[in-house]
Amino acid sequence: MSAKTIIITGASRGLGAAIARAAAELGAAVVLNARSAEALEAAAGQIAAAGGTALAVPGDVSRDDDCERLVDAAVSRFGRLDALVNNAGILEPIAPIAEADPQAWQRSWAVNVLGPVLMTRAALPHLRESGGRIVHISSGAANRPVVGWGAYCTTKAALNHLNRVLALEEPTLTTIAVRPGAVDTPMQGVLREKGAAGMTPEEHARFIRRYEEGDLLPPELPGRAIAVLALHAPHEWSGEFLSWDDDAVQALVREATAAR
């Protein structure tokens, strides 16, 4: 039987690249997407050099035609689709609601919410066939309001609810939203560099302190948990908002790792 095939959006760097590496280590054929073709090829090349199977398909998840092209490329190359990880996301605008640029709000919703909707629609026919899985990369900010993160918080809350609706509408699939924790990625760099303009000084300083004290997670830790969920999550978890370090998730990670 051919290997499971998984699409990961936003996989040129940070958490998405780590999810892709982990999924390849677990034996999946990995299809990586992001806008920057060069960085994406590098991430796919790293997986191939380590003995994995990877395909890079550049594109913007907020564009319907790019999402269709990404799914078509995955299925025509590997003949099947078993999982989709909606990971591509942006933090900005970092500004109070009263001051934020409305166009930046629109972009946030286009990438963080419409993107997962378009990707899900494009992938659904194939995921129904395989009885596949979708993992939406959410955030603790979906439940916790943060000053200056109005766009980000509301898009992640919407993503969690999208996940719940999808679980009802597509009972043959397993669809999960995951909180990856505070991860040491370029997005955290954006927060440190630009956060002072919109966040409270205390909250901004707290993230800088976490970085300086080495308290951010290496992407490999949540990356592995998310890859395992995308390939092996039990159906009864469909519709849930999980944390990467929940006991049940970590038990599944140990089981999947031992089985390799």
Q: With binding defined as CB under 6 A, does residue 145 bind ligand NAP?
A: no
d(CA 95, CA 103): 13
29 CB-near residues (< 8 Å, 6+ apart): 2, 3, 4, 5, 6, 53, 54, 55, 77, 78
Stretch that binds ligand NAP, among 3-11, 76-84, 94-102, 249-257 (CB under 6 A): 3-11
Identified catalytic residue from 62, 108, 138, 238: 138
Is residue 80 a contact point for ligand NAP (CB under 6 A)? no
Q: Which of helix, strand or coil describes residue 160?
A: helix
**Among positions 52, 132, 150, 180, the unique one binding ligand NAP when judged by CB under 6 A:** 180
Out of 60, 82, 92, 240, point to the residue binding ligand NAP (CB under 6 A): 60
Angstrom CA distances, 37 to 26, 40, 111, 190, stand at 25, 5, 18, 21
Interface residue with ligand NAP, options 4, 5, 6, 10 (CB under 6 A): 10
- Indicate whether 192 belongs to the interface with ligand NAP (CB under 6 A): no
Catalytic residues: 138, 152, 156
Q: Which residues bind ligand NAP (CB under 6 A)?
A: 9-16, 33-36, 39, 60-62, 87-90, 111, 137, 139, 180, 182-183, 185-188
